[in-house]
Amino acid sequence: MAHVYQPDRIEQKWQKTWEAQQTFKTLPENSDKPKYYILDMFPYPSGSGLHVGHPEGYTATDIIARAKRMQGYNVLHPMGWDAFGLPAERAAVREQKHPADITQANIANFKKQIKRLGLSYDWSREICTSSPDYYRWTQWIFLKMVDKGLAYLADVPVNWCPAQATVLANEEVVDGKYVETGDPVEQRNMRQWMLKITAYADALLDDLEGLDWPENVIEMQKNWIGKSQGAHIHFPLQDHDSSITVFTTRPETVFGATFMVVAPHHPILEHVLQPAHKAAVQDYCAQISQDHLDHSHEKTGVFTGAYAINPLTKQPIPIWVSDYVKLGYGTGAIMAVPGHDERDHAFATAYQIPIKEVFDEHNKAVASGFLDGLSIDQAKDTMLEHLTQHQLGSAKTTYKLRDWLFSRQRYWGEPFPVVYDGDVPLPLSQDDLPILLPPIQAYKPTEDGKPPLGRADDDWLLVQRDGKVFPRELNTMPQWAGSCWYYLRYMDPHNDKAPFGPDKEQYWGQVDLYVGGLEHAVSHLLYARFWHKVLYDLGLVSHKEPFKKLFNQGMILGVSYKDDQGKYYHTQDIIHQAGKPFSKQGHKPLTSMVEKMSKSKLNVINPDDVVNEYGADALRLYEMFMGPLEATKPWQSEGVKGVYNFLQRVWQLSVDPTTDKQSASLDDHLNMDAHPKLYQRLNQLIEKVTYDIEHLKFNTSIAKMMEFTNECKQQSVLSTELWKTFITLLSPFAPHICEEIWQIMGNKKQLAYQAWPIADPNAVAEETFNLVFCINGKRISQATVATDIADDEAKTLFLEDPKIIKVLADRHIKKLIVVKQKLINAVV
């Protein structure tokens, strides 16, 4: 038996055993155990392999999955690959290989790396969104959407990225740039497939209610949907028999509308623009289209020369054009109320337009005719009634959410199961599926501007039916498509008759816990919820929401080192002197910074290196010990050493022949009499670890386990039962070392299904007594405290006691006397 902890000897052995014995295979659905479905956001298998952010979430779910198995659940804990997407296509161009081959190689690498971490996935359920037996069913769901009128073709202004020669979803564009590459994005009109997510706007909003999700994610989803209740109000044009309709959330402020603003390129401009102002407005619009995505500039605008009539004051008000009003929201036109809207106020000030206040400091209407004296809410109701009655407007709800642009001019995605008869799209039948991606030689758009699939052979391009020829749709689906329903496929991954069987779906129901990064707070989670609701309405799933509980792990940052020239240094090229970093060569002083890990900053930590040096158990434990799971936190290599030393200590305590703890025959039965203190500590630990696992608070549990081993170290003899229980508690965190110790202790069955310990309620409670607080010998107050309370802690409690504070007032304490297990007295 090795007396030194050697993770490399242990870890591979157990990984092989688990694999050979299918230890973590999910039980069949007729199991009488309760089910628990715990899911990681599956990774995109990128060429750079796993980074330390992946094991953070994966270890968290693995700890829970392992604990749940031990607690008697039938656990579904799967892993797969979000494998379609642009990076593989770009690599294909670069490396002259097929994206499928690149993806396959990347998956093999990812899988090898993930398997080294001892994660208890049921690999028999592995899925891959780019394999035909998966995307066949993505196409199948798309056909259902076409059937329901939820997928349609439309000429839409799109975000066109010239560098990538493709359109992007709104969610993929930030500040006029493609978030993945930073390439500029412009607007274009194109005929594209759209998914009618707006039909589900209210359901997507309302059903957030019952979810156990982080508040910030719920907030982000609400904002993205952006439901606004207000009114449409018609402003007649002066000298013209048409009108401009505005959307406002403040109809009670109409009396204060002193001008109007329409968005650049608003179609109404054609009718209202006065000849003398035409050139100026056209110039302005042209300039806006050029830098329309650059939001940094000041509020600017031009006057159209035209006037509208405020329908309440009957006064003419000027119509301006400005890009602070957006074409795609509301009606693309606003009534501007500079007295009560900040943006309007800034604009009115800049262009010397009158500002009129219509609510006073008590929020009562003033200078507003029949509204005068009413509160905002009363005024709103009264105005809405007035508008409706006089056909000047009506109540209106708008959403920021837009239908989902679902076409991409790319190769490496799901082909649409659609052909064309002239301009008319014809959905193919379910029996035609899968529509396979054809092999092509180059992945750029064709010379005549068709998407890459335009390069396929005629065999693929043209579909013969009843003597007629129909060309295929050449766009592909966006990368988000496959991840919209993958959690359902894990329930029944090998079904070749349906995406998943109803019996399996009914058994597994919702994902009980979903863990992943905050970057998916809107896009993926909104799209998946939308598809799920469509499937619900089709009667294919039994819950309205896919993910019952969501948890976002925090980002792991890197520590980087930079000299005054801005040059970055690798940690191995650095020495520390008097706690300060210097370059090894040239001895330049460096500044250290905590930043997002990136290759260019030389601060990326490769999980493989950590496993090689310290083992997977140490990596797992460290990532959970770094801080709260949800916190953003820097990687600190000394921290890994710290947890490695802890594992070392656990190993020593298990195998050390001098104290012979593992056989401790003196005291084979764990009981209060033999080790009252340790027995109590163990039960407190059981309670704590059980609670913490349920609430994803792993760092505090690990700290307690460390404390516990320190106490164990001070014992001359340890009970086997006690140590077995401790090893059981530690096993979800550090499974390899614990299985090994478990075996060394003579257990024949694997630890993976050992019953989870239950705390003895009688043993958990701390023994307590009443500590009396006195001032000059007079009893003032008291507190219930643990028998072994430290003096410092007792003094703090004394000084923080409200009654003591009151009686002490400003008096100075000369002496604070602690009489153990009895009282504290302040001499003043």
* Smallest gap from residue 192 Cβ to ligand ANZ (A): 22
Interface residue with ligand ANZ, options 301, 330, 425, 634 (CB under 6 A):
330
Nearer CB in complex with ligand ANZ: 267/422: 267
Among 11, 122, 171, 341, binds ligand ANZ (CB under 6 A): 341
User: Minimum distance from CB of 692 to ligand ANZ (Å)?
Assistant: 41
We find the least distance from the C-beta atom of residue 298 to ligand ANZ, in angstroms, to be 16
Tokens for 80, please give them.
């797969």
Q: Could you tell me which stretch among 138-146, 329-337, 488-496, 735-743 binds ligand ANZ (CB under 6 A)? A: 329-337
Nearer to ligand ANZ, 307 or 359 (CB): 359
DSSP H or E stretch at residue 282: helix 275-290
Please report, to the nearest 10 degrees, the dihedral formed by the alpha carbons of residues 558, 564, 567, 568 taken in order: -20
Shortest Å, Cβ 337 to ligand ANZ: 4
Under 8 Å CB-to-CB from 275, ≥6 apart: which residues?
305
C-alpha distances (whole Å) from 79 to each of 37, 110, 277, 528, 551 are 12, 11, 62, 17, 17
* Residue 458 burial (CB count, 10 A): 8
Cβ contact 739:649 at 8 Å:
no
Give the separation between CA 447 and CA 452, rounded to whole angstroms.
Answer: 10
Distance separating alpha carbons of residues 375 and 366, to the nearest angstrom: 10
Question: What is the per-residue DSSP string for 473-502?
Answer: P--B--TTTGGGSHHHHTTSTT-SSSSS-H
Residues 308-327 that bind ligand ANZ (CB under 6 A): 325-326
Helices 7-20 and 616-625: crossing angle in degrees, nearest 10, is: 100
Pick one of 245, 249, 315, 583: the residue that binds ligand ANZ (CB under 6 A): 249
Beta-bridge partners for 559: 594
Q: Which two tokens stand for residue 467?
A: 């003597």
CB of 789 to ligand ANZ, least distance (A): 55
Which tokens is 462 given?
Answer: 């043209």
User: Rounded to the nearest whole angstrom, what is the least distance from the CB of residue 365 to ligand ANZ in the complex?
Assistant: 13
x/- string (CB under 6 A) for ligand ANZ, residues 257-296?
------x---------------------------------
Task: Identify which of residues 35 and 400 has a Cβ nearer to ligand ANZ in the complex.
Answer: 400
Q: Is 332 in the site for ligand ANZ (CB under 6 A)?
A: yes
Residue pair 40/524 in contact (Cβ under 8 Å)? The answer is: no
By C-beta, is 347 or 530 nearer to ligand ANZ? Answer: 347
The single residue listed with the structure tokens 């102002």 is 277
- Examine residue 419 and tell whether it contacts ligand ANZ (CB under 6 A): no
Nearer to ligand ANZ, 222 or 822 (CB): 222
How far is residue 740's CA from residue 719's CA, in Å, rounded to a whole number? 18
325 vs 823, which CB is nearer to ligand ANZ? Answer: 325
Q: Collapsing DSSP states into helix, strand and coil, what is residue 671?
A: coil
Q: Among residues 242, 224, 243, which one has the least CA distance to residue 233?
A: 243
160 is an interface residue for ligand ANZ by CB under 6 A: no
Applying CB under 6 A, among 58, 134, 247, 412 the residue interacting with ligand ANZ is 247
Beta strands in 237-380 (DSSP E): 243-248, 259-262, 301-309, 316-322, 333-336
Residue type (1 letter), 548: K
* Angstrom distances, CA of residue 379 to CA of 252, 257, 392: 5, 15, 16
Q: Is 781 left (phi over 0), alpha (psi -120 to 50) or beta?
A: beta
- With contacts defined by CB under 6 A, name the span among 23-31, 290-298, 328-336, 626-634 that binds ligand ANZ: 328-336
Q: How far is the CB of 826 from ligand ANZ (least distance, A)?
A: 58
The nearer residue to ligand ANZ, 257 or 597, going by C-beta atoms, is 257
Phi, psi of 562 (to 5 degrees): -135, 140
Q: Quick one: 372 or 609, whose CB is closer to ligand ANZ?
A: 372
CB of 248 to ligand ANZ, least distance (A): 3
CA distance 741 to 384: 74
Cβ 457 to ligand ANZ shortest distance, Å:
47
Q: Which is nearer to ligand ANZ, 335 or 521 (CB)?
A: 335
Question: By CB under 6 A, what part of segment 193-232 binds ligand ANZ?
Answer: 228
Collapse the DSSP code of 167 into the 3-class scheme (helix H, G, I; strand E, B; otherwise coil) and give the result: strand
Q: Which of residues 15, 166, 253, 720 is near ligand ANZ by CB under 6 A?
A: 253
What is the smallest separation between the CB atom of 189 and ligand ANZ, expressed in angstroms?
Answer: 19
Kindly report the backbone phi and psi dihedral angles of residue 552, in degrees, each rounded to the nearest multiple of 5, phi listed first: -105, 120
Residue that has been written with the tokens 């990136």 in this structure: 598
- Among the residue ranges 241-249, 388-396, 485-493, 607-615, the one whose residues contact ligand ANZ (CB under 6 A): 241-249
User: Taken in order 449, 453, 454, 456, is the CA torsion positive or negative?
Assistant: positive
Pairing of strands 418-421, 333-336: unpaired
Instruction: Choose, by CB under 6 A, the member of 329, 460, 536, 568 that binds ligand ANZ.
Output: 329
d(CA 266, CA 319): 12
By C-alpha distance, which of 137, 71, 228 is closest to 481? 137
If the CB atoms of residues 300 and 684 are measured against ligand ANZ, the closer one turns out to be: 300
Tokens standing for residue 293: 């995505």
Q: How far is the CB of 199 from ligand ANZ (least distance, A)?
A: 20
Nearby residues of 235 by Cβ (< 8 Å), 6 or more positions away: 243, 244, 245, 246, 260, 308, 309, 310, 311, 317, 335
Q: Which is nearer to ligand ANZ, 247 or 625 (CB)?
A: 247
Min dist. Cβ of residue 522 to ligand ANZ (A): 17
Q: In angstroms, give the least distance from the CB of 241 to ligand ANZ.
A: 24
Which residue's entry shows tokens 């890459």?
A: 452
The piece of 62-70, 245-253, 412-420, 610-618 that touches ligand ANZ (CB under 6 A) is 245-253
User: Do 614 and 606 touch, CB atoms closer than 8 A?
Assistant: no
For residues 268 and 337, which CB has a smaller minimum distance to ligand ANZ in the complex?
Answer: 337
Q: Does 337 bind ligand ANZ (CB under 6 A)?
A: yes
Which stretch, 178-186, 244-252, 486-494, 776-784, contacts ligand ANZ (CB under 6 A)?
244-252
Nearest approach in angstroms of CB 393 to ligand ANZ is 12
Beta bridge partners of 375: 364
Residue 91 CA to residue 477 CA, distance in Å, equals 19
How many residues bind to ligand ANZ according to rule CB under 6 A?
Answer: 17
Q: Which of 248, 304, 654, 690 is the binder for ligand ANZ (CB under 6 A)?
A: 248
Q: Shortest approach of ligand ANZ to residue 228 CB, angstroms?
A: 3
**Pick from 66, 98, 250, 266: which binds ligand ANZ (CB under 6 A)?**
250
798: its two tokens: 């004394």
Report the alpha-carbon distance of residue 189 to residue 666 in Å, rounded. Answer: 83
- Residue closer to ligand ANZ by CB (options 326, 806) is 326
C-alpha distance across the termini of the chain, in Å: 63
Confirm or reject binding of residue 335 to ligand ANZ (CB under 6 A). Answer: yes
d(CA 759, CA 684) in angstroms, rounded, equals 7
Which residue number, 345 or 704, has a Cβ lying nearer to ligand ANZ? 345
Query: Which lies closer to ligand ANZ via its Cβ, residue 368 or residue 683?
Result: 368
Please tell me whether residue 353 binds ligand ANZ under the rule CB under 6 A: no
Shortest gap between Cβ of 225 and ligand ANZ (angstroms)?
A: 11
Q: Does 408 bind ligand ANZ (CB under 6 A)?
A: no
Choose, by CB under 6 A, the member of 102, 114, 195, 334 that binds ligand ANZ: 334
Chain contacts with ligand ANZ (rule: CB under 6 A): 228, 247-250, 253, 263, 325-326, 329-330, 332, 334-335, 337, 340-341
